[in-house]
Amino acid sequence: TQLLEQSPQFLSIQEGENLTVYCNSSSVFSSLQWYRQEPGEGPVLLVTVVTGGEVKKLKRLTFQFGDARKDSSLHITAAQPGDTGLYLCAGVLVGAGNNRKLIWGLGTSLAVNP
């Protein structure tokens, strides 16, 4: 059972379209990070959201953290072929004794076709 569910798993769109990918959980996270991974490389951090309801923008990418800090979304406006990649979300769970663990979703594989 995945603690962090990402949807959709795969997405293929045309250049110029808008899209939203989701990251959902029943657990509350102290913060959540979004990474993008390109073939043959490791994931690269895009953004960290910390506060419930927080919205962050990175050029054409808009990230939102849910009010209850259980879910997050990534919206891309006017997608470009350079946006192609695997988008991963990772949430920080704080357990007993302030033990912190980063929980990863399986990712959304995005293909933007010219």
Residues that contact another protein, how many (by CB under 8 A): 21
Closest to another protein by CB, 66 vs 105, is: 105
Q: Which listed residue (28, 55, 68, 102) binds another protein by CB under 8 A?
A: 102
- Contacting residue, 23, 36, 43, 70, with another protein by CB under 8 A: 43
Tell me how far CA of residue 49 lies from CA of 29, 63, 76, 82, 106, in angstroms: 10, 8, 17, 23, 19
Which residues, at least 6 apart from 87, have a Cβ–Cβ distance to it below 8 Å?
6, 21, 34, 35, 36, 37, 74, 107, 108, 109, 110
Among 27, 30, 51, 113, binds another protein (CB under 8 A): 30
In the complex with another protein, the residue whose CB is nearer, 1 or 14, is 1
Q: Are strands 10-14 and 108-113 parallel, antiparallel or unpaired?
A: parallel
Q: Which residues pair with 12 in a beta bridge?
A: 111
Q: Is 19 in the site for another protein (CB under 8 A)?
A: no
**Binding-site ranges for another protein (CB under 8 A):** 2, 30-31, 33, 40-45, 48, 88, 90, 92, 100-102, 104-107
